[in-house]
Structure formats: structure tokens, C-alpha cells
Structure 1
């Protein structure tokens, strides 16, 4: 895992969205709202699931867990970029789907090991709902695309409770960072759609 927390430079690019399509605009807005909900839920889930006091959500120490993330088997998410000729809108939607599917697989892997599963189950439901919206937008932009991506097969190495706690912590921190990038991307798409 190269970096647990990174921000994608998502400034306004050229318009690639279906021009002023009300259904597409509504999908972008709904996806933005769902992503905001997920960002709030991530912090609540972290508080509910993490018992080890040294695993703080907003800590500069999180970047130091890269080797442990690799040992556990946590992959890095896809990187979202500015919408451009070399990174078109459909690629952005594909990367969003891959990233959220990967995080769903990670969260599903740690879920059975957690004492408190309610918040994690709700977070998984929200990410599933967001994936449905992203799939719809991708299909509007590229109707001929096969938008049924296969979720990654992940096998986390979780021999003990500490590893479960660290895996849950790192996954939530990474999902938060990825979701922040998605918010920037959706904001960029919304601005392009309005221009």
C-alpha cells in the first residue's frame, strides 16, 4: 500500500457528462449525498468497531501502517484523476466502482470478526447503494459498456484480534480518503454538467 491517505487533484476539466441531462444531474447529486453520508458513517463505524486506543482515525501515524497493510493483504485503491482526454468520464466511473467494490470486499472480510457489526453492516449497505448510482451514471455516459465489474477476491491475513482491529482501522481510513476523492470528482462532474 503506497499511501493510505492521498488527495486526488480533481480540478475542473473538460465536460464529458451528458449535457444538461436532468436524470444524469440528479444521479450525480444523489451520489454526492450518498458519499457525504458514507464519510460520516465511516467515522461513526470507526468509533463503534475499534477498541485499540492507539488506532486513531485522524492520526498522522496512519501512514506508518503501510507495511502492516501489505502483510494483512489490503490493496491500494484506484487513483482518481482530473477528467480529461487521457482520463475520460467513463474511466472515472470505472475507477470509482473498482474502488468501492474493493472496499466492500475488505469490509465484508473483517465484518465476521467484529464484536460490533451494526455500523459496519449499515456502511456496507450505503456503499452498495452508491455503487448502484455510479453504475447508472456510467451506463448513461457509455451505454454499450459492460458495467458489471467483478468484485476482487481478497484474502486478508487476520490471525488475531489485533490484526482484525488494524485491518478494520486501515480499511476505514483508506475508504475515507477514497471517498473524499470521489466527492471532489463528483463536484467536478457537476460543475462540468452545469457549464
Structure 2
């Protein structure tokens, strides 16, 4: 009886071991299939995120002229005009330059980090100047677009598993206290919008490059 019982226990143990191995194999296969299925899905999500970001960049580019027209009415400050004769205002007023995005050799994580940093810079800059402007509606719409694009780029960073950029507030001194008159206010808005347009054009090209390499 003892031997038979021992043999029965041995068979049960072998059966359980085989079952556990089979379950383990199934679990591994299921995990592999999940990873295989997740890869195309994640790529599709990234593609849609890039498309949304590109659309928002185009919207900013289309909204900049309206904001400029509403806020700047001084002769000689056309949006398309060269800023050469006003370059001294850039340093005198302390308008900071955005990160460089022109190189296509930048990795995606560097590009996205610089895009976020540049967008946050222009958002803070325009929010500061808006306090001195008599036309705030168009600037508010533009600021909303900038905020939306920044949030979309943050989502791209998450999808690409890139650590999100932490915005450094107060990275430059407040500009509005140094604007002594309406002319300086309009020059500051003019230069800031010109710079935002140029930066957003670089953002648009960077996003197109990311889309092509995704």
C-alpha cells in the first residue's frame, strides 16, 4: 500500500510539474504576443501624436500674423521686415533666444526637449508682455496654442519613453518692467512674435523629420 501510494503521489507531482511548465510556456508566449502587438500600436500612437503636434505648429504659424496685426501698429514694424535695425533692442530689453533646432542631426529626445524649452520660453515671454498690451485677445489665443503644442510634445516624450522636460520658470528677468513706453511695448511684441514664428518654423521642420524617421 505504501509503495502504491508513493507511486500515485509521484504521478500527481509529475502531472502538476508538467501542467506548471505548460502554463509557464503559455504565459511567456502570451507576453511575447502582447509585446509584438504593442509595438505597432505604440508606433501608430506616436504617428498620431506627431500629426497633432504638426497641426498645432501650423496653427501657431497662422495665428502669429493676426496677433501681430492686432498688437503692433507702429510704422516700420511689419512682421515680414528684417529685425536688423532693432537688434539692439534684443539685448537692451533682454529678450532671450530660444534653443537651436536647425540641425537635423539632433536626436529625437534632444529635439523634443528643445522644442518644449523654446515653447515655454515664448509662452512666459508673451504672458509677461501681454500685461502691457492693449490688445490681449489675440495674444491669449496664441498662448493657448503654444500651451497645447507643449502638452502634445510632452505626450510624444511619454510615448517615446523620454523623460519629460522640466520647465525652468523665471529663467530670465521679467520684461514688462523695462518697457517704458508704448513704442517699446510694441517693439517687444514685434520681436517676440518674429522670434516665435522663426522658432515654430524650425519646430515644424523638426516634427516633419521625426515623422519621416518614425
- TM-score normalised over the length of structure 2: 0.76
Partner of 1:97: 116
Superposition deviation, residue 146 in structure 1: 4.2
| Contact 1:73–1:155 (Cα < 8 Å) also in 2 | no
Higher relative contact order (CA 8 A, sep 6+): 1
Q: In structure 1, which of residues 49, 71, 87 is the aligned counterpart of residue 92 of structure 2?
A: 71
| Alpha-carbon distance in 2 for matches of 1:90, 1:166 | 34
* Cα distance change of structure 1 residues 123 and 140 upon mapping to structure 2, 3 Å threshold: same
Partner of 2:29: none
Partner of 1:29: 51
| Contact 1:77–1:99 (Cα < 8 Å) also in 2 | yes
How do 1:63-142 residues align onto structure 2 when only pairs under 5 Å count? 63-84=84-105, 87-142=106-161
Q: In structure 1, which of residues 29, 36, 56 is the aligned counterpart of residue 78 of structure 2?
A: 56
| Contact 2:54–2:207 (Cα < 8 Å) also in 1 | yes
Partner of 2:213: 192
| Alpha-carbon distance in 1 for matches of 2:165, 2:79 | 33
Superposition deviation, residue 82 in structure 1: 3.4
Partner of 1:40: 62
| Contact 1:48–1:119 (Cα < 8 Å) also in 2 | yes
How many residue pairs get aligned? The number is 172
Superposition deviation, residue 69 in structure 1: 1.1
Gaps spanning 5+ residues in structure 2: where? Answer: 1-38
How do 1:170-181 residues align onto structure 2 when only pairs under 5 Å count? 170-181=191-202
The structure that is helix-richer by fraction is: 2
Gaps spanning 5+ residues in structure 1: where? Answer: 1-17
Partner of 1:163: 184
| Contact 2:64–2:142 (Cα < 8 Å) also in 1 | yes
- TM-score normalised over the length of structure 1: 0.83
Q: Which runs of 4+ in 1 moved over 6 A?
A: none
1:11-68 deviation line (CA, Å, top 9, x unaligned): xxxxxxx8771111101000000000000100110001002021010013x1332211
CA RMSD of aligned residues (A): 1.6
Partner of 2:167: 149
Give the number of the structure whose alpha-carbon radius of gyration is greater: 2
Superposition deviation, residue 149 in structure 1: 2.0
| Alpha-carbon distance in 2 for matches of 1:47, 1:107 | 15
